[in-house]
Chain A
Amino acid sequence: MDEAKKKQYNQYVNEITPKHNLVLNMVKAFITGGIICTIGQAIINFCMAHNMDEQTSGSWTTLLLIFASVVLTGFNIFPQIAKFGGAGALVPITGFANSVASPAIEFKKEGQVFGIGCKIFTIAGPVILYGICTSSLLGFVYYIISRL
């Protein structure tokens, strides 16, 4: 089959394939992400009201959100939140925690080393790798600029 015909078929498939409603998805993501961040802010406020400094309060917030996400992943509730909220649930740290906890649960049966050990970062791995690379690069640029 020639390329032109393949292209034509792909175009036709693209036209008849239903897609998620982008605006609706963005509204849902805004609401879900908003709720998660509001909870985060509530934890920070609570901690600071109990005489913690900003950095310690932030650490507690991160810790509690990760914990909540991992527990919800274990009870298979997080996928339902993510199905509704999409990026709203996945972009905050809750999504990162889910992407690490879910392979750990799934691959536990394949053993501690080759199961959990090798496969725990199958989804989060790229985020960690390129996150560290980008941070290092930016740190280097910042170092040069601050010396000028």
Chain B
Amino acid sequence: MSNILGKQSLKFEVPPYIIGTANIVGKKEGEGPLGKLFDVVGEDDLFGEETWEEAESSMQNKAASWAIDNAKLTKDQIRYIFAGDLLGQTIATSFGLLNFNVPLFGLYGACSTAGESLSLAAMTVAAGYAENVLAVTSSHFASAEKQFRYPLEYGNQRPLAASWTVTGSGAFIVSSKQGKIKISGITTGKIIDYGIKDSMNMGAAMAPAACDTIYQNLMDFSFQPEDYDKIVTGDLGYIGSDILIDLLKEKGFDISIQHMDCGKKIFDQKTQDTHAGGSGCGCSAATLSAYLLKEIEMGNLKRILFVPTGALLSTVSFNEGQSVPGIAHGVIIERCE
């Protein structure tokens, strides 16, 4: 039977399961509203390493190793790894997973990589190409600031629309072996450009992509927003979330009750000075791993649509006057009854 559904979706007839997960975050994230839920909170953001980049690699390495332990597997039982991060040439992934000795696909989908890696892992398992696949992503505030913006010690005023890159990593084991949580389908996003040129307002740049993917998901699966307990975007933040709800209303869907944004959830905007909210691959991955999957496992949530969002820019494209297109990948995660 075909798994292909609608224009951009797959509905897995034999669904893959998420049988293991782990996460690690930095100090600031640990002080946030989800602080107590994370597996490990770093004492400082260097995680015992010399550089920010090595620190990010170390987080990814730890999250991946613990997820394998959590699934009660060993490294040699993992057939493929799908992994990515925000750094140039995805070096956090390359050096973080260097000693794993497992076939790897390196990914870049900006902050949507958590959704991209889970989608590809689910496809690979559902197609029978692997029994166990690891999906892992990370981001680090300091390495991202250094690459995309200014040195940390440089004094400047961040706009209120700016987001705060989450220091964190989340890893997931997707398997054909039955577990409590399954991935029942995916909707892969397109590159969507509404002509936003302000790289400090990424919520506004990514909201149209989230809208497009969520709309397409609802159409492909013939779902209403009520069919989900939560529709979870990755890092739209406060501004992007408002825009998303407005845009989807124009298309005839009101998701204001179901919608949750990991970027809004992970920090306390009032006390943590994070402006528009958290962002980065680590934001959605760590929130899914630490909070959402636990809620699903406990039965508080039955079915969610997880939609990490990415802003597709580089400092070069920005300086050369290009706009900031967005992308968003939808993953339907359900509790197995």
Write the residues of chain A forming the contact surface with B, with a CB cutoff of 8 angstroms: 1, 3, 5-7, 9-10, 12-13, 16-20, 25, 73-74, 76, 78-79, 81-83, 86, 89-90, 95, 98-99, 101-103, 105-107, 109, 123
Contact = CB atoms under 8 A, between A and B. Distances in A.
B195 A98 contact: no
A86 B153 CA distance: 14
Closest 5 CB pairs of A and B: A82-B155, A6-B195, A106-B151, A102-B153, A102-B154
A1 B195 contact: yes
A98 B194 CA distance: 36
Interface of B: 50-51, 146, 150-161, 193-197, 201, 204, 208, 239, 242-243
Contacts of B196: 9-10, 13
Contacts of B195: 1, 3, 6-7, 9-10
B111 to A, nearest CB: 18
A123 B150 CA distance: 8
Nearest to A21: B160
Give the dominant DSSP class at B's interface.
loop
A20 B155 contact: no
Given A9-B195, A9-B208, A107 B157 contact: no
A17 B151 contact: no
Given A6-B194, A6-B195, A9-B195, A73 B153 contact: yes
Contact of A17 (B152, B156, B194, B239): B239
B156 A13 contact: no
Nearest to B205: A13
Contact of A86 (B157, B193, B194): B157
A16 B243 CA distance: 9
A95 B208 CA distance: 38
Nearest to A73: B153
Given A13-B196, A109-B50, A18 B153 contact: no
B325 to A, nearest CB: 10
A12 B201 CA distance: 13
A103 B243 contact: no
A12 B207 CA distance: 13
B155 A17 contact: no
A102 B152 contact: yes
B154 A103 contact: yes
Contacts of A13: 196, 201, 204, 239, 243
Given A13-B243, A16-B242, A102 B194 contact: no
Contacts of B193: 1, 6
A19 B159 contact: yes
Contacts of A95: 155
A6 B197 CA distance: 11
A78 B153 contact: yes
Contacts of A25: 157
Nearest to A28: B157
A107 B155 contact: no
Nearest to A119: B151
A105 B160 contact: no
B155 A74 contact: no
Nearest to B154: A102
A76 B204 contact: no
Contacts of B158: 83
10 contacts: A1-B193, A1-B194, A13-B196, A20-B157, A20-B159, A74-B153, A78-B153, A83-B155, A102-B150, A102-B155
A30 B160 CA distance: 21
B201 A103 contact: no
Contacts of B152: 76, 79, 102, 106
B246 to A, nearest CB: 8
Nearest to A76: B153
A1 B54 CA distance: 41
Contacts of A101: 153
Contacts of A89: 155
Nearest to B146: A106
A16 B239 contact: yes
Contacts of B204: 13, 17
B318 to A, nearest CB: 15
Instruction: Find the residue from B154, B159, B208 having the highest chain A CB count within 10 A.
Output: B154
Nearest to B54: A109
Given A1-B193, A6-B194, A17 B153 contact: no
